[in-house]
Structure 1
Amino acid sequence: MDNHTIKTVFKEYIHPLDAKVIQKMIDVTGLDKYVKKLDTLTYIHLFIYAQLKKLNSLKEISNSLSRKKTVQRLVGLGSISKSQLSRKNREIPHEILDVTLRHLIQKVQHTLGSVKAEKALGKLHLIDSSIISMCLSRYEWADFRETKSGIKIHTSIQLCNGNVSLNKVIPTPARPADETQLDTLIVHDKDVLNVFDRGYFNFKTYDAYCETGIKFATRIKANTIVHVIEELPVDASSPITRHAIAKIGIMKINYSW
């Protein structure tokens, strides 16, 4: 992903975020009361960038920020250490991010109207996993790495009409890939949109879902080959710069960027 694309995509992620709403929550909690450098809004911007660039550790985030002027301009920060990032991770309550998500959903509902928004967001299932590290000598059955054991919690959460409910939880040893549990977590309902990240990346699985009408949204890997079949017209007022019918795997899709 080149710098031009990063700038464009980053701005699209940042644009819907209402800084005033987030700042009000920060002020109520007193989260940034004594903060001089890494405030919560800057933290959110930095981690959105890290997600876009697939940075895997706090050290990578810190190094990328210190080396690249483009990143510094995007997030509004010159440098930050990995220890400061770690402390900020621990300090921020999940309620702030939860309220931010709900606020974004309300904006979609306001933009689309209640009927269209309910259709678009009425049945949204979020799929992800988390690893819990454990002592290797006591939990040998949970084989993970040479120096530690671990389990992986695969989770499906339903988001409907502003309410969040747990749909399914599957514990496994940490070593197997996320994609091994996708079929179990996916909701086989044509009215449901399943959302998951690149950890579940598998073209054969995606092709099968497309053939059976299962809706899903995910992010493709940077080295994915996209075969453009037909270029389509783009409205000059649209933020989309290119619209085409393309082929990824064996299925033809509408592809916009």
Structure 2
Amino acid sequence: MDNHTIKTVFKEYIHPLDIKIIQKMIDVEAIDKYVKKLYTLSYIRLFLYAQLKKLENLAVISQSVSRKKTVQRLVGMDSISKSQLSRKNRQIPHEITEAILRHLIQKIQYTLGAVKAGKALDKLHLIDSSTISMCLNGYEWADFRDTKAGIKLHTSIRLCDDTVSLDQMILTPARPADETRLDELIVYTKDVLHVFDRGYFNFVKFDTYSKKGIRFATRIKSNTVVNIIEELPVEASSPITRHAIVTLGKMKNQLQLVETMDSNGNKIRIVCNDAKRSALEISDIYRNRWKIELFFKWVKQHLVIKKFYGKSENAVYNQVYLAMITFCLIILMKQKVGFKGTLLEMLRWVRDCYNQSMTTFVLEVRKEPERKSSGRRRWDSDRIFAETLAQYETGDISHLDNLTYDPLV
């Protein structure tokens, strides 16, 4: 019998979580020792459902359990109060959800690695951070500014062709500078090229990475001291305006300097410590950095991380990690069913069909459009004008006075 016939989409969707491993972590920490109703596994299922359906507060989540039999079957209970959800959200150590996320990231790397083996961009890591601002009242632990609180998502993603997958995410209060977490986001292997922006600018780190063979490309600031060692030739037709070998400030290791223009005509200066890359390659690689900005935009628009279910550090971090777990599960589901559309389309499919059988779901996702259309056709005005002119010139114009004439027939 086909395994899909007895599985719902949601069960298959959360299958990569490895429930047995999660339960072992729960038992070691004795999280559910005195729990009578909302066990941690039920909490994880329920809040993954909330992320999937984009439920923005605990009251709506509570009502979903009370009103929907399908949700009751997912979590194994017929009701749960808002206060119970809030309490559980505070009590579960966020290290649990962080560990689940890391486990899923490893699965994605293994899955995509097997599919995308040998691809050049498989070794491109994009590093950046994104801040989520919060009201200072209630989030005093999230140190940011004198007038507001906030958390920072220090993130590294892998880029393979057009596929973006999460590599690492570190959550901290928003105040620490980006460069304080750079070492934790770096992959210490020689076959990876890291791309990051000026927020991570640090001469000492750059020298250290160069000595260790860690490759990187980044923009330099306008006031950076650039020591020219050698100017390199640039083709007149190339978008590159300057190519040189340089050192920065008191750095000892040499870098390639590439100057080009962005889409708005502004000059950008990029340095890279990979001597084997051409100037055009370095320019193209740095342009890919914007894909991490698109990642942040995607998760903020389509997952619940801008409105929080609770105010404690555990509650906020659990919610963000569960949102990233949702992102990873969508990637794995897309890969599993062989879906050729976008990640957002896959999210919408799972969101709408979460209670269907997996067999029906796979057939629907893979089904070819029943109606094929070449789209709205444009009138060939040049041809029509030429034919009308020819008719006029030959005197064949009697049909123009016939009111019963239909030019569409």
For the criterion TM > 0.5, the same-fold answer is yes
Residue 365 of structure 2 is aligned with which of 242, 247, 256? Answer: 242
Contact 2:151–2:172 (CA<8 Å) still a contact in 1?
A: no
Aligned residue in 2 for 1:19: 19
Query: 1:51 deviation in Å?
Result: 1.2
Aligned residue in 1 for 2:256: none
Aligned residue in 2 for 1:157: 155
Contact 2:156–2:166 (CA<8 Å) still a contact in 1?
A: no
Deviations, residues 132-172 of structure 1 (Å, cap 9, x unaligned): 2135xxxxxx9xxxxxx74555645115699736699978x
Q: Highest Rg: 1 or 2? A: 2
Aligned residue in 2 for 1:133: 135
SS at match of 1:77: coil
User: What is the correspondence of 1:6-155 to structure 2 with a 5 Å cutoff?
Assistant: 9-113=9-113, 116=116, 123=125, 129-134=131-136, 150-151=148-149, 153=151, 155=153
**Structure with greater strand share of residues:** 1
Q: How many residues align?
A: 190
C-alpha spacing 1:21/1:242, structure 2 compared with 1 (3 Å): same
TM-score (norm 1): 0.55
Contact 1:158–1:166 (CA<8 Å) still a contact in 2?
A: no
CA RMSD of aligned residues (A): 4.7
Deviations, residues 197-235 of structure 1 (Å, cap 9, x unaligned): 46447xxxxxxxxxxxxxx9557997xxxxxxxxxxxxx
In the alignment, the residues of structure 2 paired with residue 86 and residue 109 of structure 1 have an alpha-carbon distance, to the nearest angstrom, of 33
- Displacement over 2 Å in runs of 4+: 7-13, 105-132, 149-156, 159-171, 190-201, 216-222, 238-245
Q: Does residue 197 of structure 2 align to residue 195 of structure 1?
A: no
In the alignment, the residues of structure 1 paired with residue 111 and residue 44 of structure 2 have an alpha-carbon distance, to the nearest angstrom, of 24
Query: 1:17 deviation in Å?
Result: 1.0
SS at match of 1:56: coil
In the alignment, the residues of structure 2 paired with residue 166 and residue 221 of structure 1 have an alpha-carbon distance, to the nearest angstrom, of 24
% same residue: 48
In the alignment, the residues of structure 2 paired with residue 125 and residue 11 of structure 1 have an alpha-carbon distance, to the nearest angstrom, of 33
Give 5+ residue unaligned stretches, structure 1: 1-6, 136-141, 143-148, 172-183, 202-215, 223-235, 246-257
In the alignment, the residues of structure 1 paired with residue 169 and residue 299 of structure 2 have an alpha-carbon distance, to the nearest angstrom, of 23
Contact 1:126–1:156 (CA<8 Å) still a contact in 2?
A: yes
In the alignment, the residues of structure 2 paired with residue 126 and residue 65 of structure 1 have an alpha-carbon distance, to the nearest angstrom, of 37
C-alpha spacing 1:46/1:122, structure 2 compared with 1 (3 Å): farther
In the alignment, the residues of structure 2 paired with residue 85 and residue 29 of structure 1 have an alpha-carbon distance, to the nearest angstrom, of 20
Higher RCO structure (Cα 8 Å, ≥6 apart): 2
SS at match of 1:242: helix
Give 5+ residue unaligned stretches, structure 2: 1-6, 138-144, 159-164, 176-197, 200-285, 303-341, 349-358, 370-409
Query: 1:192 deviation in Å?
Result: 5.9
In the alignment, the residues of structure 1 paired with residue 29 and residue 112 of structure 2 have an alpha-carbon distance, to the nearest angstrom, of 32
In the alignment, the residues of structure 2 paired with residue 162 and residue 221 of structure 1 have an alpha-carbon distance, to the nearest angstrom, of 16
C-alpha spacing 1:200/1:50, structure 2 compared with 1 (3 Å): closer
